[in-house]
Amino acid sequence: MSTTVAASPRQTQADRSRDTRLKLMQAVVECLVDVGWAGTTTTLVSERAGVSRGAQLHHFASRGELVAAAVEHLGAESVRALRADSDALGRPVRTPAVVGLIVDFYVSPLFAAALELWVAARTDTALRELVIPLQGRLGRETHRLAVDLLDVDESRRGAREAVQATLDLARGLALANQLTDDSVRRARIVAEWSAQLEERLA
């Protein structure tokens, strides 16, 4: 009993610490969505998170450390969101629903945040080292999900490429939605491609 009581404040301290880190990482992602990579300063992040500069520096000594943690967080959040959306689909899943799921994932604010990092990383060596694994993780995760849901036999000629093309198409559609609402055009393209993919994989 005394052990439990003694452990409780330690747990609370650990919880608080984890909460603070999480708030800061979430604030980075929100700032990326709202003001872009260039505007995502450590000052703005601490304000957005409601965390003092001192506490922020205690958890993340530099912008680099904070960004690294946020990239990791963004990857984990994206995978979680993708799996939750997938679980919410009925079974068996039809091809248009799978394509829709993947396209919706890339059109989401989480990907807008990733896109900010992706483009900034092209001309920022340190950031690139962080973002290449994120890009790989999101690519692998969406690929695996598509293969599972579509029940694709990847040993068949062209099947793997057809699934990969679906992911590249989804990222292209996400790009087309950054400045204007492209949902009407996108729905037609998703319908057309789903029909082709279904036929291709049949």
| Interface with its own copies (CB under 8 A) | 34-39, 112, 115-116, 118-124, 128, 131-132, 135, 139, 158, 161-162, 164-165, 167-173, 175-176, 178-180, 185, 188-189, 191-193, 195-196, 200
- Token pair in block for residue 123: 């001309």
CB of 35 to its own copies, least distance (A): 5
- Closer to its own copies by CB, 57 or 68: give it: 68
The three-state secondary structure class of 48 is helix
Task: Please count the residues of the chain.
Answer: 202
- CA 195 vs CA 24, 73, 94: distances in Å: 43, 35, 10
CB of 110 to its own copies, least distance (A): 14
Q: Which residue matches tokens 């409780």?
A: 8
CB of 78 to its own copies, least distance (A): 16
- Closer to its own copies by CB, 57 or 72: give it: 72
Measured torsion, CA atoms of residues 40, 43, 45, 51, in degrees rounded to the nearest 10: 180
- Closer to its own copies by CB, 57 or 196: give it: 196
- Closer to its own copies by CB, 56 or 194: give it: 194
Rounded CA separation 15/29 (Å)? 21
CB of 36 to its own copies, least distance (A): 4
Please compute, for residue 150, the number of CA atoms within 13 A of its CA located in the half-sphere on the CB side. Answer: 31
